[in-house]
Amino acid sequence: MKVEFQNIGQVKNENLKYAVISAVHEKKWVFVKHKERDTWEIPGGRRETDEDINDTAKRELFEETRAKNFQIKPICDYCVIIDDKKSYGRLFYADIKDFGDLPDLEIGEVKLFEKLPEKLTYPSIQPLLYRKALTEKMITEYLGREVKATMDRPLGSKHPQHNFIYPINYGYIPDTVSGDGEAIDAYIIGEFEPLKFYTGYVVAIINRRNDDEDKLVVCKSLDLYNRDQIRALTEFQERFFESDIISAY
């Protein structure tokens, strides 16, 4: 089995058969459990005849989570390949503000999680969709915005396990949740003294393709560093991961 992601518009509209909606409520992930299963899944379902795929997403989100006040947007299209057979769908990201009564349909339980549940209905597919949505969540909530960071690895300190020295300040954003359930980590660039606290703008997000933790890059100004410079400044740690840099500038 293989999952491929494509930009919206690359897949023919008539081939999009499924809508999957990675949703959050109060910064926690929304997962649902079917009445006939004991596993968790991302809300979503099959497109009905002559239905717009974007309307499919809104309908399925309501039917499966009781969401009645939400913002939703498409992230990308995807293709699941099993034994040379391809099925296509569109992945969405939604922020749910309020819930109503759960319709008496196939979903028996809706639950909020800080990270990806262990017991999944589709364990070969859902983690990949989750990682894609996690990056979208980070972009929506943090890119270009001001944050306050606390340093637990200040410049010049040593990593407790790998023994390398931090050439820049590295910390976390209190009261946040990353893909691993812990606080979101942040690289501080443009500062040349050890810090305890720092307030700056999220100039970039480092999207780790092979890890559940994306990282913020924080600076006093949005346009001081380009992607290549950010890559060089964070290479001391990011060289262990496959990643992309999403810049605010």
> 185 and 75: one domain?
no
> 151 and 239: one domain?
yes
Q: What is the pLDDT of residues 148-195, one digit of tens each?
A: 999 999 999 998 888 889 999 999 999 888 877 789 999 999 999 999
> Could you say which DSSP state residue 47 is in?
P
**Can you give the pLDDT at residue 152?**
94
> 135 and 222: one domain?
no
Reply yes or no on whether the pLDDT at 212 is more than 80: no
Q: What is the pLDDT of residues 9-66, one digit of tens each?
A: 899 999 999 999 999 998 889 999 999 999 999 999 999 999 999 999 999 999 999 9
Measured on CA atoms in the order 202, 209, 231, 226, is the torsion positive or negative? negative
Q: Specify the higher pLDDT residue, 180 or 238.
A: 238
Q: What is the rounded average pLDDT for all residues in the chain?
A: 92
**Can you give the pLDDT at residue 5?**
92
**Can you give the pLDDT at residue 129?**
93
Q: Which residue has the tokens 């491929």?
A: 4
Half-sphere exposure of 131 (CA within 13 A, CB side): 19
Range of the domain at 166: 143-247
Range of lowest pLDDT (4-13, 37-46, 97-106, 206-215): 97-106
> 89 and 170: one domain?
no
As for how many domains the chain has, the answer is 2
The total of other beta-carbon atoms located within 10 Å of residue 14's CB is 9
| Structure tokens, 195 | 């810090």
Whole-angstrom Cα distance, residue 22 to residue 11?
A: 20
Q: Residue 115 — pLDDT band, cuts 50, 70, 90?
A: confident
**Can you give the pLDDT at residue 182?**
85
> 135 and 149: one domain?
no
Which of 141, 172, 195 is a domain's end point?
141
> 198 and 212: one domain?
yes
For 16: left if phi > 0, alpha if psi spans -120 to 50, otherwise beta; the answer is: beta
> 95 and 60: one domain?
yes
Range of lowest pLDDT (12-16, 104-108, 205-209): 104-108
**Can you give the pLDDT at residue 66?**
93
> 123 and 158: one domain?
no
> 59 and 91: one domain?
yes
Whole-angstrom Cα distance, residue 132 to residue 219?
A: 25
- CATH number of the domain bearing residue 172: 3.90.80.10
For residue 114, report the phi and psi dihedrals to the nearest 5 degrees.
-85, -20
